[in-house]
Structure 1
């Protein structure tokens, strides 16, 4: 239920007039009318009698709830803002690869606008730093994938995307509109360093679909998306990623092909469990709010 529409309902209820409610909310009369109609369609009830304008019994009940909801929302907003302003400092945000697609720059920009007193610094993370940078206090919060299963870490799921493989353009599989796990498990995958955390290794190699068998790896190793792409372009191995990868890394000599039957995977915002830093809490609130707003549509509308 949209809080803006609830604010419009309260204005109409208080003013008992659509025109005055429009002036109070700085909306057009047509927009005020549409907000009320949308709420009525959403709830399946009539909220207002039109001549004269007054609340129905259902409208009275919703107004009581609306006042409580709006008060709680404003209190939450003020609490987060005051907490961060009371503790200026530095926030180090780790980003693995392209992070959580368009959500990453959106969250960073929103935080910088809301809290200019906080020095937000971006820290690039490679594949071997899945959550180690966070646990070793080299970053305060991090955009990573996949979601770690570690009691020392809390995660907020930001995107859920289908999987792709990144392959040399001259390989036969590169021309397929999509592949299946049976097609990709025997590909020579680019090697990861031995100290790469197991969750990321399992993610890259589709380990859950291998019944415990080790992948066939190329001789070339990589710890970053750029190294994966350069190695694939040279025809020396394959990598895997989330679908949004191809929007951020168009690379000559490579192709990104969807894997139709691979389970979809999350990208997450990871923070230390029981983190009390108000800047971290504020960043999480902003990032998850943007994720809810965008929903499955990851792309931001250009300004």
Structure 2
């Protein structure tokens, strides 16, 4: 007994017509007729009255069993398909805020792709307002951000520890200094971040601890490194960053000046707390290993 023949019987019964059943099943009318005849031969009883077309008593009993069998077959197909899908290569979405963790970002991505070519790794650019929201809203699976979030919903791997710089217009007097102190930069007009920007990032950008919690003078709006640089090049505001920033964003009309007495700051890889995804675990392991291996060579940690 073939399931296809049972499906045909049900279609004829529901349509009350062999021709309409054939159209519904995309079969020839002769094939539909043959399916019903074969079922009647298998069971040894008439299953359909022909005029009008309707189920016999035996046909009604078989139809109940047919619906159960067809439903079970569909459940089995879905279950097997789900298992097969679970065995397919996964996807890993890697969020990157700005230049991420300097040279460690491309190094980790390349190492992961080499070690796990079966995984679809996708890079997702993030702006300053997405410090943790992109991760917690499941838009990314791991993310290179700075500074380290203060949030129990995420796990943190510290990758770099770097000194701080300010990004200023090249025409400002401050731009010619080989280095500056916090007292020299606290009164600068800093780029303005949206209200939704997480507090740890605004405190980081504005050196809030050094200014006693007071807000800075405000320049142009910015939510990405490019917007910070554009504002600085136009003389419309300053920004701050980690020292590696200047290796990745040389920008005409701007200067990056070290702030020698500012506390050093981390760049980190964050993931959702308790995430047991094998792709996430493998990426974290690679990033942490490369941080230990490449960090001293890149002089990203204090001597």
Work out the number of aligned pairs and report it.
215
- CA deviation map 1:24-44 (0-9, x unaligned): xxxxxxxxxxxxxxxxxxxxx
What pairs up with 1:33-44 in 2 under 5 angstroms?
Answer: none
- TM-score with structure 2 length normalisation? 0.69
Q: Deviations over 1:140-177 (max 9, x none)?
A: 00000000011001000000000000000000000000
Distance 1:296 1:244 in 2: 14
What's the counterpart of residue 151 of structure 2?
150
- In the TM superposition, what are the counterparts of 1:1-303 in structure 2 within 5 Å? 88-218=89-219, 220-298=220-298
Where 1:296 maps in the other structure, the secondary structure is helix
CA distance in 1, matches of 2:178, 2:244: 16
Alignment RMSD, CA only? 1.4
- Partner Cα distance (1:94, 1:213) in 2: 31
Deviation at 1:137, TM superposition (A): 0.3
Find the residue that maps to 2:209 and give its secondary structure: helix
Distance 1:140 1:150 in 2: 16
| Kept in 2: contact 1:157–1:268 (CA 8 A) | yes
Which string of whole-angstrom CA distances, capped at 9 and with x for unpartnered residues, describes residues 215-259 of structure 1?
1111x1000000000110000100000000000000000000000
User: Structure 1: any 5+ residue segments left out of the alignment?
Assistant: 1-84
Q: Normalization by structure 1: what TM-score?
A: 0.69
Decide which structure has the larger Cα Rg and report it. Answer: 2
| Structure 2 unmatched ranges of 5 or more | 1-85
Does structure 2 retain, via aligned residues, the 8 Å contact 1:102–1:299? no
SS of the residue aligned with 1:297? helix
CA–CA separation in structure 2 for the residues paired with 1:270 and 1:88: 22
Contact (CA 8 Å) 1:87, 1:278: kept in 2 or not? no
CA distance in 1, matches of 2:95, 2:241: 18
Contact 1:97–1:124 (CA under 8 A) maintained in structure 2: yes
Q: State how far apart, in whole Å, the 1-side matches of 2:187 and 2:89 are.
A: 51
SS in 2 for 1:143: strand
CA contact (8 A) 1:141 1:269 kept: yes
**Preserved CA contact (<8 Å) 1:91 1:119:** yes
SS in 2 for 1:124: strand
How many Å separate the matches in 1 of 2:215 and 2:88? 48
Following superposition, which runs of at least 4 residues in structure 1 exceed 3 angstroms of deviation?
none
